[in-house]
Amino acid sequence: MTRVCLVGRESHDLHTELVSRQTARKALSTYHLERPYANTVAIETISLGAAVSFCNDLSWYLARFAAAALVLEPSVSETEWLSQELATAIRDGTISPEEHTPHRVVYGVVSDEDGPPCLVDPTYTTVTDGRAPEYDQHDVDETVVVRITESEDRP
């Protein structure tokens, strides 16, 4: 199964924004919504193509209320997520799944006693010598690593 995790912007409650709008609610209706991190919405799809199509269906809302759309495709990596742009390029065949782009965004994950853990302070980095630099912005419980395209490196 391919997972999609939509990360909301700080100024919006992503879940509320999506379910309060009829078109987005309809696109979400066939999926079981999860909230693995604060201000995120996650679903499971059957394939990378379905994940990209799902993101495309919500593109108007993502442009306004989301900071990122992340895709976890096990056939590419069991542990590293893909940006929406990289997932689309792999689906379209412009980048092969075997290509290892060196560009990454690393989110810290901080536990919250009152709710789901939070994704904090994304760090843009480049893999050198086969390893991404350690996340050092905060003491974190874990990290979420996202492969991105060169054009997405540095906001």
Q: What is the dihedral of CA 47, 23, 34, 147, to 10 degrees?
A: 50
| Class of residue 131 by CB neighbours under 10 A (exposed 0-12, middle 13-18, buried 19+) | exposed
pLDDT digits (tens, 9 = 90+) for 46-100: 999 999 999 999 999 999 999 999 999 999 999 999 999 999 999 999 998 888 7
54 token code pair: 């799902």
Task: Tell me how far apart the alpha carbons of residues 15 and 50 are, in angstroms, rounded to a whole number.
Answer: 20
Q: Which H/E stretch holds residue 77?
A: none
| Listed ranges 2-16, 99-113, 125-139; the one with the highest mean pLDDT | 2-16
Q: Regarding the domain delimited by 2-92, which CATH topology (the fold level of the hierarchy) does it fall under?
A: Alpha-Beta Plaits (3.30.70)
Question: Per-domain residue ranges for the chain?
Answer: 2-92, 103-152
pTM (2 decimals)? 0.92
Predicted pLDDT at 155: 61
Amino acid at 128: T
pLDDT band, very low/low/confident/very high, at 115 (cuts 50, 70, 90): confident
